[in-house]
Amino acid sequence: MKILLPPSETKREGGDGPPLDLEALALPTLGAERSAVLDALIDLAADEPAARRVLKLSERQSGDIAHNRRLRTSPTMPAVDRYTGVLFDALDAQTLSAASRRWLATHVWIHSAPLGPIGALDPIPAYRLAAGTSLPGLPALRRHWGSATTSALADAAPSFVLDLRSEAYVALGPVPATVPSAYVRVVTEQGRALNHFNKKSKGLLVRALAEDRPRIGSLRGLRSWAGSHGLVFRHGDHSGVLELVVSE
């Protein structure tokens, strides 16, 4: 099983890893697309007023532009540690055991806007780019990434994909029809969709999986594991949608 997570707009500063190495990232066939986005971001960062306008930043967020300017040279840290926010705070990967972190490395991809899906422990720099941004010199990110990412996921051929991404990141590379998958929505028992609890519940779900380190190769296997851990999954209103039922 592979799990697809969305990234977070908020990120930790710093890092002590070497500069970004595109060839060392998961799904290496995306190298050309990754390089093109990095070049566009670095070029944009050379013009700070333009970068603030395109990235929708205030003057107080000029540090994010500086991060983009140094994308190829700044220090890195594992992606799952770089991201913060509700989902990643609930996952709290830094407190997991070494074995659980290895499980994350094997089973989790985080879908970033500049790099596409990357491994949970892939070292990345701090950056600023959202899924809906249009970068000068590039097509819309959904067109730049879409078919290339879907093809890379098809080539990886996981037995099953649990898609926990937001819709904005699904648009940057849908899971191919050739790969069994389920898209997760977090709902109440009455079927009402949740926002804050959506992200927190997804983070807690991935943490529980990492701590238990099960071998899951299908939706049936996931539901069996979930049932044994007091988690409730049910089929959604649409084909391919799985609802994670939680209490508010």
Q: Could you tell me where the beta strands, DSSP code E, fall in 150-198?
A: 161-163, 181-187
Q: Which two tokens stand for residue 124?
A: 């990345």
For residue 5, give the H/E element and its range: strand 2-5
Q: Which two tokens stand for residue 67?
A: 């991060």
In degrees and rounded to multiples of 5, residue 106 shows phi and psi of: -80, -30
Q: Which two tokens stand for residue 68?
A: 């983009």
Q: 24-52, pLDDT tens digit by residue?
A: 999 999 999 999 999 999 999 999 999 99
Q: How far is CA 110 from CA 2, 214, 224, in A?
A: 10, 20, 25
Query: Minimal CA–CA distance to 209: which of 123, 107, 134?
Result: 107
What is the three-class DSSP state of 201?
Answer: helix
Alpha helix positions (H), the chain: 31-45, 48-55, 62-69, 79-82, 86-91, 98-107, 141-156, 167-170, 196-212, 219-228
The pTM of the full predicted model, rounded to 2 decimals, is 0.95
Average pLDDT, the chain: 95
Q: 89-127, pLDDT tens digit by residue?
A: 999 999 999 999 999 999 999 999 999 999 999 999 999
Q: 166-214, pLDDT tens digit by residue?
A: 999 999 999 999 999 999 999 988 767 767 689 999 999 999 999 999 9
Q: Give the rounded distance of the alpha carbon of 190 from its chain centre.
A: 28
Q: Which two tokens stand for residue 213?
A: 């380190």
For residue 124, give the H/E element and its range: strand 123-124
Length of the chain measured in residues: 248
